[in-house]
Amino acid sequence: MTEDSQRNFRSVYYEKVGFRGVEEKKSLEILLKDDRLDIEKLCTFSQRFPLPSMYRALVWKVLLGILPPHHESHAQVMMYRKEQYSDVLHALEVIRFISDATPQVEVYLYMHRLESGKLPRSPSFPLPKAFEQYLNLEDSRLLSHLKACCAVSTLPYELWFKKCFAGCLPESSLQRIWDKVVSGSCKILVFVAVEILLTFKIKVMALNSAEKITKFLENIPQDSSDAIVSKAIDLWHKHCGTPVHSS
């Protein structure tokens, strides 16, 4: 039996006995043992598999450039990053963009905008057009209903595409989405939005005004979140392909 076939056999076996992801976890641990972390391979891994919670913070920090690829620099760089965080937070307080009453999600958003030179407003996202495109491919009748209700322009795009579903989906579901976003695939957000519409199609089709549709989508039931994310990832792979490690 070849090495690849042995690996495939083990993967099937682990999945059948309830240990799905064991092989993936081992693969990630091997990547994280390198003296210099391979950013490209970590990106590809994050797009193909859910990150184990014990390694998620580290991988996100490396992919976002908060930590450098070299392990030996991590402690010192994190010290600098904490000082940088305090400075940016203080700056936002001084210019009165935030206060003690500002939701933490908005604080992080303002910090990002200040760091990237996009305060007070960041550019509009091109994702709504992609959202319409893929929703039309998956369910043109549902899109037609939204247009008939004049709801397409009033959908909660800021909640979906600027806040990346923070405040819409529970943390456990957000982590799986943000694995993809952090590793460079913002388009996953489009497919989460599409899948939310598909999941709640019957409810949305029964609503006859843009206001009612938007209000419902801003406060969707939480019990379907994990299934929505899983199906959204499947849609993402269906339309965009599955990332593969480069040789």
Contacts 24+ apart (CB under 8 A), 51-59: 51/175, 51/179, 52/21, 52/24, 52/25, 52/28, 53/175, 55/28, 55/29, 56/175, 56/179, 58/32, 59/28, 59/32, 59/182
Alpha helices in 116-200 (DSSP H): 127-138, 140-148, 157, 171-182, 188-199
- Position 241 scores a pLDDT of 83
Q: Which pLDDT belongs to residue 116?
A: 79
How many CB atoms lie under 10 A from the CB of residue 170?
12
Alpha helices in 102-170 (DSSP H): 104-115, 127-138, 140-148, 157
Q: What's the pTM value of the predicted model, to 2 decimals?
A: 0.74
3-state SS class at 78? helix
pLDDT at res. 211: 96
What token pair was written down for 189?
Answer: 């957000």
pLDDT at 246: 43
Calpha distance 145→206 (Å, rounded) = 10
**How far is residue 225's CA from residue 206's CA, in Å, rounded to a whole number?**
21
Q: What pLDDT does residue 6 have?
A: 53
pLDDT value of position 114: 85
| Location of structure tokens 């409810």 | 203
Q: How many residues does the chain have?
A: 247
Separation of alpha carbons 73 and 75, rounded Å? 6
CB 47 within 8 A of CB 180: yes
pLDDT at 120: 60
Check residue 96 and give its pLDDT.
83
CA distances from 76 to 63, 72, 73, 160, 168 (A): 18, 9, 6, 35, 36
Going residue by residue through the chain (247 aa), what tens digit of pLDDT does each one get? 555 555 455 555 445 544 556 688 899 999 999 989 999 999 999 999 999 999 999 999 999 999 999 999 999 999 999 999 999 999 888 878 888 888 888 898 888 888 877 776 444 556 899 999 999 999 999 999 999 999 999 999 999 998 899 989 999 899 999 999 988 888 999 999 999 999 999 999 999 999 999 999 999 999 999 999 999 999 999 998 876 654 3
